[in-house]
A and B are shown apart, each in its own frame.
Chain A
Amino acid sequence: MKKIALALAALFALTVPGSAALQVDVNQGNIQPLPIAIPDFIGDPQGANIAKVVRADLERSGLFKPLDPKSYVEQIKSINAAPTFANWRVINAQGLVTGQAQAQSDGRLRVDFRLWDIYGESQMLGLQYFTQPENWRRIAHLISDAIYERITGEKGYFDTRIVFISEGGPAKNRKKKLAVMDEDGANPIFLTRGDYLVLTPRFNPTAQMIAYMSYINGKPRVYLFDLESGRQEMLGNFPNMTFSPRFSPDGNKVAMTLENGGNSDIYVMDLRTRSYTRLTTDPSIDTSPSFSPDGKQICFESDRGGSQQIYVMNADGSNQHRISFGSGKNGTPVWSPRGDMIAFTKQGGGAFHIGVMRPDGSGERVISNGWEDEGPTWAPNGRVLMYSRTLQGGRGSQIWSVDVTGRNERRVITPGDASDPAWSPLIQ
């Protein structure tokens, strides 16, 4: 991925820190989305597109209700003057975003925006960005992140990417391609052509590297894909299948599964030395490892107790203990980047759902409603998840998202059928 020059200039002097009149508590289970007005940014024609992307980002979050621009009674002429707050109260807006885009003499685009508290009659935030004009969508996502963070107190997740498997073709012989896209479905790029099966991609912590499973040359193995150079390499040289890769939080290791004589066990490979350590030795299926955000523990799944369940161990393989004791089978555990939850796939009653629980197994909740939902991935703020949804009867696969509270379940925009999403960290 091309790194872009991005200058974050200054908080405007007008900003009133700590004026907490306008806020949204993301912990609440069922909230009213906050009505917010986001007129097209003035100046350069790209300003209208930027505002459109910001409106779409905030609407998708389920925490905001961007108001229809046709309802606005005041037209923004300058972003340096305070708006007439009464004009925005008339349409029940609680927040207002004003912005301006300007082409610079050096070819860059300058984008300014301000977030206003309509009832508090004050400016909450003002930021300025410089970028190459083709990066205007990223500026829009950065503005969405800034608004989300100012109002919810949580980091945003709009300036992120999703690596996933793009699917097509007949249900019995799906063509699967490795693909990446922006979090809102824009800019999809296909990294493989579909002439061999690819599965379960995951980003490293810098979002520059992808670990995934490929059947290229008829040998299912874990591969690394470097987005910067486009180079791929097989990870290790093992005689049998390797699968279910996941990076450590520092990006220096990959935990994955090696199959040998029909038995699957979890190993960790050090990417610098290429030495590997075996973590499980049980003659059962041990797979789907995922590190805790401090790197000290790994959650995984095993059927050593008779059915597929979730376990936690120390990163050196010690202290392996079961944590899932609810009904049915439980698998594909993924540790939240906040550390407070583990998301997983719950199988029972003929269907699969996404669930979350605390790392000690308590507080289990089911948060998705599909027929076959599996393989959760966390937004970098640990508040939203995406997952694969397979439709009943071979009618295809989709990516869906839901808040950790179980609210706001919705389909993610993808180019055609898609599965196995993995969320990038916030892009630096």
Chain B
Amino acid sequence: MTRFSGLLKFAALSAALALAACSSKPEAPPADNGPPPAQTDNSAPVQSSSIVPGSAEDLRVNVGDTVHFDYDKYEIMEADRSVLQRQASWLAKYPSVRVTIEGHCDERGTREYNLALGARRANAVKEYLVSLGVANGRLETISYGKERPMCTESSESCYAQNRRGVTTITGGASS
């Protein structure tokens, strides 16, 4: 089961990445590697019956917990709106769940600037969820700046994975 959900997660992440890497970033240095293989299917992954509905794994695997950002930007990208819509629906279905939205940055920013930028990103996700009807009081934010990268190579494909907002459950989930 673990292996299966890991694969699903990878597929969802790749889809988001492929889209993230397509938009042009004039200030970014040339990428060392090309973007990951194109995969444009951004529909919701197939429900896996072995995952407890309303659990952290349910959010992560079946809903999608991560959105991505352009370099030095904090606007929610078109491609990620469906992820946040699914998160809002899921949060409506499980009204006791409280979440913290983590804002993260790539390494191409100074430490303190990235703390501020990560806060902007986490807040952008929060505001988007609030605009979709999620109660403000259920959503906390935290910025990690560039302190918790997903990927540690110094390449554009890696940077794109690190510029992210991650919705994590802090209470009220099924287990």
Contact = CB atoms under 8 A, between A and B. Distances in A.
Interface residues of B, number: 33
B113 A331 contact: yes
A344 to B, nearest CB: 9
Q: Which 4 A-B pairs have the closest CB atoms?
A: A394-B152, A262-B123, A350-B29, A264-B116
B105 to A, nearest CB: 12
Given A220-B143, A372-B107, 12 more contacts: A218-B142, A220-B115, A240-B119, A243-B116, A259-B143, A262-B74, A262-B123, A264-B116, A307-B72, A332-B112, A394-B153, A420-B111
A285 B143 contact: no
A243 B110 contact: no
A199 B110 contact: no
B23 interface: no
Contacts of B107: 372, 390
A388 B147 CA distance: 14
Nearest to A265: B116
5 contacts: A213-B115, A263-B120, A331-B112, A375-B110, A394-B153
Contacts of B150: 172
A345 B113 CA distance: 11
A106 to B, nearest CB: 49
B122 interface: yes
A293 to B, nearest CB: 21
B113 A288 contact: yes
Interface in A278-309: 285, 287-288, 301, 303, 307-308
A349 interface: yes
A374 B111 contact: yes
Contacts of A388: 111
B154 interface: yes
Given A241-B119, A350-B29, A172 B111 contact: no
Given A171-B149, A262-B119, A393-B153, A347 B110 contact: yes
A288 B154 contact: no
B152 A241 contact: no
B135 interface: no
A292 B112 CA distance: 19
A345 B123 CA distance: 26
Given A172-B150, A172-B152, A308 B119 contact: no
Interface in A194-222: 197, 199-200, 213, 218-220
B70 to A, nearest CB: 14
Contacts of A287: 112-113, 115-116
Interface of A: 171-174, 176, 197, 199-200, 213, 218-220, 240-241, 243-244, 257, 259, 261-264, 285, 287-288, 301, 303, 307-308, 331-332, 345, 347, 349-350, 352, 371-372, 374-375, 388, 390, 392-394, 420
Given A220-B142, A259-B119, A243 B154 contact: no
B131 to A, nearest CB: 14
B124 A374 contact: no
B120 A262 contact: yes
A200 B74 CA distance: 24
A247 to B, nearest CB: 16
Contacts of A303: 113
B152 A171 contact: yes
Contact of B110 (A172, A374, A392): A374
Residue from the set B111, B150, B153 with the largest chain A CB neighbour count within 10 Å: B111
B81 interface: no
B93 interface: no
Nearest to A219: B142
A172 B141 CA distance: 20
A393 B147 contact: no
A86 B29 CA distance: 60
Given A172-B148, A262-B74, A394-B149, A257 B116 contact: yes
Interface in B52-97: 72, 74
A345 B119 contact: no
Contacts of A390: 107
B17 interface: no
A215 to B, nearest CB: 8
B117 interface: yes
A317 to B, nearest CB: 18
B152 A393 contact: yes
B29 A349 contact: yes
Nearest to B29: A350
A174 B108 contact: no
A393 to B, nearest CB: 5
A213 B123 CA distance: 20
Contacts of A199: 111, 115, 147
Contacts of A263: 120
Contact of B120 (A218, A220, A285, A332): A285
A261 B123 contact: yes
Residue from the set B119, B124, B144, B153 with the largest chain A CB neighbour count within 10 Å: B119
Nearest to B143: A241
Contacts of B142: 218-220, 241
A264 B30 CA distance: 30
